[in-house]
Amino acid sequence: MKGLILSGGKGTRLRPLTYTGAKQLVPVANKPILWYGIDSLVAAGITDIGIVVSPETGGEIEAKTGKGDRFGARLTYIQQTSPDGLAHAVKIARPFLQDKAFVMYLGDNLIQGSLGNFLKAFQAKTLDALILLKSVPNPTAFGVADVDAQGRVLHLVEKPSQPPSDLALVGVYLFSPQIHIAIDQIRPSARGELEITDAIQHLIDTQKPVEAQTLRGWWLDTGKKDNLLEANRIILDEYLGASAIAGTVDDQSQISGRVTLGAGSTLVNCTVRGPVIIGQNCRLENCFVGAYSSIGDQVTLTDIEIDHSVVLAGARIEGIRQRIVDSLIGQRAQLTMAPARPRALRFWSAMTVKLS
C-alpha cells in the first residue's frame, strides 16, 4: 500500500503567516505540520509516500522535508500546477500510485492515534473506500456522510444546508484502485474542481463497497490560527516528554513543568513554565514564557512575557511591556516597544512591527 499526502494550496486562511512559507511547514510544537502526517503513515507501515505540492511552495517543502531518510520512508514529490480539487490531485498522482491501494492524507490535518486499525479494517473487508468521520458541532462547514447502522456510506454531501448527520469527513481516506475509474467518470463541480466526495459517491452509486469509521480521538484542521494554536496546545500537553535541557540556564532563571531547551540556546534571568518547547540557538533574557508556548530556532526574546503562543524561527521580540498571548509570530518577524494601555497583546504576524 502507498501513501499520498496533499500538500498544495496557498494557505490563504493563515495569511499573513504563509506569505513567508508553506502552510504545511508551519510548526506545531516546533515540528512542521506535514511531518506529523508522514510519521502517521510510516507508523502504520506505509513507507512509499507521494507528496502533492504546488509550484509556489513545492521547492521549499522538498528542501526542508527531504527524500524521506529522516522518517524511514521514500518520498516522491508530485507537482499540481493548479488547485483543481482533491480528486484532481489523485488523478495527477496516478503514475506514482499505479495499481496500488493507498491512504490519502490531507497535509494540514492532525489526528489523534494510529491509522493501523483503519488500515486493517480496509484490508480485511476488501473495501474500495474507507473514510474517516468525526462528529462535529457545525456540520454545515464540512463534507458530511450519511451512514447506516452497519457503517456503509449511503450518501455524501459537501457543506450541506441541511446535514443528514453530524459526521464530517476528517481528511484521511483509504482507496483501492477503483477510485481512479470513479474519478474518470466525474466532472468538475460548480466551483470548477474535481471533488473527491463526487468520486466516492460514484463508487457508492455503482455498488462498490464503501464504509466509514468514526475517529474517537481529536481531529484538527490547522488551516486557521486558532486551530493551529489549539493543535500546539494538545501536542505539547499530550506528547512533550520529561524536561530536556540541552542549552544553558543561568542561576537567576527558573524552570518548572516539562520544558525542552534546544542545544545552543541560553536563558538569562527567565521564568519558563511548561509545557514549553524552545528550539536551538535561541537567546531569552529577562523573559517569562508561559505554558503551551513553542519557540522556534534562532529566536531572540528580550524583556517580554509570552503565553500560549507560537513563535517561528528567526523572530526577534524586544521590550514589549504587556504580555503577549494567543499569538502566532512569523519567521524573522521583529516586534519592538509597545503602548502602556493594553493589558495583553495578540499578534498574528509575519512582518516587522514597531509600536510606540
> Does one domain contain both 228 and 244?
no
Q: Which residues of the chain have pLDDT under 70?
A: 9-21, 338-356
DSSP run (H or E) holding 92: helix 86-92
Q: Please report the pLDDT score of residue 227 as a whole number.
A: 87
> Does one domain contain both 229 and 317?
no
Q: Residue 344 — φ and ψ, nearest 5°? A: -150, 155
> Does one domain contain both 151 and 275?
no
* Residue 9, C-beta contacts closer than 8 angstroms, at least 6 positions apart: 23, 54, 83, 108
Q: Please report the pLDDT score of residue 342 as a whole number.
A: 55
Q: Are strands 167-175 and 129-135 parallel, antiparallel or unpaired?
A: antiparallel
* Residue 40, C-beta contacts closer than 8 angstroms, at least 6 positions apart: 105, 111, 114, 115
> Does one domain contain both 179 and 297?
no
Q: Please report the pLDDT score of residue 63 as a whole number.
A: 95
> Does one domain contain both 284 and 307?
yes
What does the alpha-carbon distance between residue 242 and residue 294 come to, in Å, rounded to a whole number? 16
> Does one domain contain both 208 and 296?
no
What does the alpha-carbon distance between residue 247 and residue 278 come to, in Å, rounded to a whole number? 10
Q: What angle do CA 40, 120, 35 make, to 5 degrees?
A: 5
- From 214, 236, 258, the end of a domain falls on 236
Q: Please report the pLDDT score of residue 11 as a whole number.
A: 47
- The domain spanning residue 165 has which CATH number? 3.90.550.10
Range of the domain at 278: 240-354
Q: Please report the pLDDT score of residue 190 as a whole number.
A: 86
- From 206, 236, 266, the end of a domain falls on 236
- From 236, 256, 285, the end of a domain falls on 236
> Does one domain contain both 194 and 306?
no
- The domain spanning residue 303 has which CATH number? 2.160.10.10
Cα atoms found within 13 Å of the Cα of residue 90, Cβ hemisphere only = 34
Q: Look at the alpha carbons of 20, 15, 317, 221 in this order and tell me if their dihedral is positive or negative.
A: negative
Cell of 240: 512533550
Q: What count of other Cβ atoms lies within 10 Å of the Cβ of residue 99?
A: 8
Per-residue burial over 198-208, b if 16 or more Cβ lie within 10 Å, else e, is bbbbbbbeeeb
The pTM is what? 0.88
> Does one domain contain both 188 and 337?
no
Q: Convert 19-76 into a string of H (helix), E (strand) and C (coil).
A: HHCCHHHCEECCEEHHHHHHHHHHHCCCCEEEEEECCCCHHHHHHHHCCCHHHCCEEE
> Does one domain contain both 116 and 152?
yes
Q: Please report the pLDDT score of residue 31 as a whole number.
A: 94
The region, left, alpha or beta by phi > 0 then psi within -120 to 50, assigned to residue 301 is beta
> Does one domain contain both 81 and 193?
yes
For helices 58-65 and 33-43, angle between their N-to-C axes, nearest 10 degrees: 60
> Does one domain contain both 14 and 122?
yes
Q: Please report the pLDDT score of residue 352 as a whole number.
A: 47
Q: Please report the pLDDT score of residue 325 as a whole number.
A: 95
Q: Please report the pLDDT score of residue 21 as a whole number.
A: 62
The single residue listed with the C-alpha cell 474517537 is 216
What does the alpha-carbon distance between residue 108 and residue 8 come to, in Å, rounded to a whole number? 10
> Does one domain contain both 136 and 251?
no
pLDDT in tens, 236-294: 999 999 899 999 999 999 999 999 999 999 999 999 999 999 999 999 999 999 999 99
The count of structural domains within the chain is: 2
